[in-house]
């Protein structure tokens, strides 16, 4: 193992992970940069843990005494070092969303707000912090990813902080904020003329020819474990209890599966009591392969060609789609999709009621939450957590033209008074129209 680049201390604690294990056939592998069960079935590899060792190391108190970041859950994460790359990622607010709840006829609604995650304002900072810490341990000096935008932002930023070389791959048609929000950290950016699924296939080939650590390809087993912290934090923030129902966006399906794994692990080591948690997933209609399979009762995914404003979740061939399907079904949850117009309304609804500006993926989640609430698929008394995974400042194009304009005035009191009168008259007219 290589030592940490800018924090040259050796690992002192007993590692709690034992290696990699095929999710399909159970074959085990050394904890290297590998993501596919090459020897047997080509299933996806996952990190395996020694839960007895975790149980011996961890209590609620040791976690609470840990850092104010995902690294308070270090025993559950696949790294050996005691000095992981910690840029303050995680421990984002779990907000009691009383005004949104009232609008939707719910009573116990919470927003887990990763729109303000550190450093790059999406849940991807969690997975990248873990992946790059592991990449350093495995000796990589260049890191890479296939991204719909947020992952590129995060990989470039955290690589910059850690002093790692970085080359990211994105679809060429991404939102301006996501491209600029990557370039600013000075990585090499490859804008691929194709959709995410084509970017992803290209990256698999590149991973075979270059000795790079692709966070979501050869490092994927480590990377994806970072999403478990979205389960851990919610359980801790609810006072060491699980919620009754969660709603999260579905792109590859990995986030969804790992929140589930996080809850299960907390039960397994005795940090929370076991109870049923319903898992509901959100997709955009223009890229809804998992939702379609759910509705049609299929246990396989038929890939689609994405066409939606929700680009960050526009994965037509989702790697963990079948696992997400399985979890939604066995927990008595639902998978639903919404139109682009509903996504924009979802973004606005969350902003107007709770003061949270999310990107299109978050709009999708809120729109699905609304649809499920209206259809009676969320019990009003259920403690429900909606996961907001990214920030609206990165997808400004999506809402431009749908949020009105400022009233332009001169710097004079009477100019203000006239504008204020006009605004109130318009508001009254709109209000009367809603009554007609």
- Footprint on residues 365-394 left by a copy of itself (CB under 8 A): 391-394
Q: Shortest approach of a copy of itself to residue 131 CB, angstroms?
A: 14
Q: Which run of H or E residues covers position 233?
A: helix 228-237
Residue 66, interface with a copy of itself (CB under 8 A)? no
By C-alpha distance, which of 383, 49, 368 is closest to 228? 49
CA distance 214 to 153: 14
When the beta carbons of 25 and 393 are compared against a copy of itself, the nearer one is 393
Going edge to edge, which strands form the sheet with 335-338?
A: 94-96, 108-113, 383-388, 245-249, 278-284, 335-338
By C-alpha distance, which of 168, 166, 169 is closest to 195? 169
DSSP, collapsed to helix, strand or coil, labels residue 308 as coil
Contact segment (CB under 8 A) with a copy of itself among 49-57, 83-91, 323-331, 335-343 equals 83-91
Site for a copy of itself in 107-166 (CB under 8 A): 113, 115-121, 156-163
CA distance 86 to 71: 7
Q: Shortest approach of a copy of itself to residue 322 CB, angstroms?
A: 25
Contact segment (CB under 8 A) with a copy of itself among 26-34, 175-183, 262-270, 371-379 equals 175-183
Residue 209, interface with a copy of itself (CB under 8 A)? yes
Contact segment (CB under 8 A) with a copy of itself among 184-192, 263-271, 324-332, 375-383 equals 184-192
Site for a copy of itself in 402-431 (CB under 8 A): 403-413, 416, 419-420, 423
Strand stretches in 7-156, DSSP E:
17-22, 28-29, 45-49, 94-96, 108-113, 142-146
Residue 91, interface with a copy of itself (CB under 8 A)? yes
Residue 399, interface with a copy of itself (CB under 8 A)? yes
Binding a copy of itself (rule: CB under 8 A), the pick from 17, 49, 140, 185 is: 185
Contact pattern for a copy of itself over residues 348 through 367, marking x by CB under 8 A: x--xxxxxxx----------
CA distance 282 to 389: 12
CA distance 167 to 146: 10
Residue 180, interface with a copy of itself (CB under 8 A)? yes
Residue 189, interface with a copy of itself (CB under 8 A)? yes
Instruction: Answer whether 367's CB lies under 8 Å from 338's CB.
Output: yes
Q: Shortest approach of a copy of itself to residue 254 CB, angstroms?
A: 22
Contact segment (CB under 8 A) with a copy of itself among 74-82, 188-196, 220-228, 258-266 equals 188-196
CA distance 224 to 134: 12
When the beta carbons of 330 and 422 are compared against a copy of itself, the nearer one is 422
Instruction: Answer whether 135's CB lies under 8 Å from 164's CB.
Output: yes
Strands 108-113 and 383-388: parallel
Residue count at the site for a copy of itself (CB under 8 A)? 84
Q: Shortest approach of a copy of itself to residue 375 CB, angstroms?
A: 26
CA distance 272 to 215: 30
When the beta carbons of 135 and 335 are compared against a copy of itself, the nearer one is 135
When the beta carbons of 280 and 360 are compared against a copy of itself, the nearer one is 360
Binding a copy of itself (rule: CB under 8 A), the pick from 61, 239, 297, 400 is: 400
Site for a copy of itself in 329-348 (CB under 8 A): 347-348
When the beta carbons of 149 and 262 are compared against a copy of itself, the nearer one is 149
Q: Shortest approach of a copy of itself to residue 224 CB, angstroms?
A: 21
Q: Shortest approach of a copy of itself to residue 409 CB, angstroms?
A: 5
User: CB-based burial of residue 431 (10 Å sphere; 0-12 exposed, 13-18 middle, 19+ buried)?
Assistant: exposed
Binding a copy of itself (rule: CB under 8 A), the pick from 53, 63, 191, 238 is: 191
Q: Shortest approach of a copy of itself to residue 119 CB, angstroms?
A: 6
Specify the residue for token string 């994105």. Answer: 170
User: CB-based burial of residue 284 (10 Å sphere; 0-12 exposed, 13-18 middle, 19+ buried)?
Assistant: buried
Specify the residue for token string 């709690």. Answer: 16
Site for a copy of itself in 271-290 (CB under 8 A): none
Helix 124-137 with 150-162: angle, nearest 10 deg: 40
| Cα-trace Rg, the chain | 22
Site for a copy of itself in 240-269 (CB under 8 A): none
Q: Hey, what's the torsion of the CAs at 32, 201, 279, 129, to 10 degrees?
A: 50
CA distance 146 to 198: 10
CA distance 54 to 74: 10
When the beta carbons of 72 and 260 are compared against a copy of itself, the nearer one is 72
Residue 43, interface with a copy of itself (CB under 8 A)? no
Binding a copy of itself (rule: CB under 8 A), the pick from 95, 138, 267, 322 is: 95
């Amino acid at each position: 193992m290589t030592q940490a680049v800018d924090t040259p201390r050796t690992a002192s604690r007993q590692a709690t992970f034992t290696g990699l294990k095929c999710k399909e056939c159970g074959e085990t592998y050394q904890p290297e940069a590998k993501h596919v069960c090459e020897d047997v079935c080509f299933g996806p590899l996952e990190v395996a843990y020694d839960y007895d060792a975790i149980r011996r190391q961890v209590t609620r108190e040791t976690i609470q005494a840990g850092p104010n970041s995902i690294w308070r859950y270090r025993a559950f994460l696949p790294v050996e070092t005691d000095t992981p790359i910690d840029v303050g990622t995680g421990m984002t607010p779990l907000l009691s969303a009383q005004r949104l709840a009232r609008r939707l006829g719910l009573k116990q609604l919470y927003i887990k707000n990763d729109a303000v995650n550190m450093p790059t304002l999406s849940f991807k900072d969690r997975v990248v912090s873990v992946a790059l810490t592991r990449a350093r341990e495995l000796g990589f000096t260049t890191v890479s990813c296939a991204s719909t935008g947020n992952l590129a932002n995060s990989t470039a930023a955290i690589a910059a902080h850690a002093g790692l070389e970085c080359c990211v791959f994105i679809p060429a048609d991404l939102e301006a904020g996501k491209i600029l929000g990557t370039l600013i950290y000075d990585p090499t950016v490859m804008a691929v003329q194709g959709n995410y699924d084509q970017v992803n296939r290209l990256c698999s080939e590149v991973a075979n020819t270059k000795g790079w650590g692709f966070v979501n390809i050869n490092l994927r087993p480590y990377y994806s474990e970072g999403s478990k912290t979205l389960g851990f934090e919610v359980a801790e923030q609810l006072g060491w209890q699980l919620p009754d129902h969660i709603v999260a966006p579905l792109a590859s399906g990995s986030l969804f599966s790992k929140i589930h794994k996080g809850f299960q692990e907390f039960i397994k080591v005795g940090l929370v009591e076991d109870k049923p948690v319903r898992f509901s997933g959100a997709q955009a209609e223009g890229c809804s392969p998992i939702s379609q399979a759910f509705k049609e009762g299929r246990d396989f995914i038929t890939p689609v060609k994405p066409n939606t404003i929700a680009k960050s979740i526009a994965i037509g061939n989702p790697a963990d789609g079948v696992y997400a399907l399985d979890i939604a079904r066995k927990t008595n949850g639902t998978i639903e999709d919404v139109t682009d117009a509903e996504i924009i309304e979802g973004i606005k609804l969350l902003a107007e009621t709770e003061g949270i500006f999310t990107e299109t993926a978050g709009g999708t989640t809120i729109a699905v939450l609304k649809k499920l609430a209206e259809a009676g698929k969320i019990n009003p008394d259920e403690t429900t957590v909606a996961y907001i995974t990214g920030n609206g400042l990165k997808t400004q194009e999506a809402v431009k033209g749908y949020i009105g304009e400022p009233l332009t005035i001169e710097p004079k009191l009477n100019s203000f008074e006239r504008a204020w009168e006009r605004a109130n008259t318009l508001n009254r007219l709109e209000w009367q129209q809603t009554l007609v």
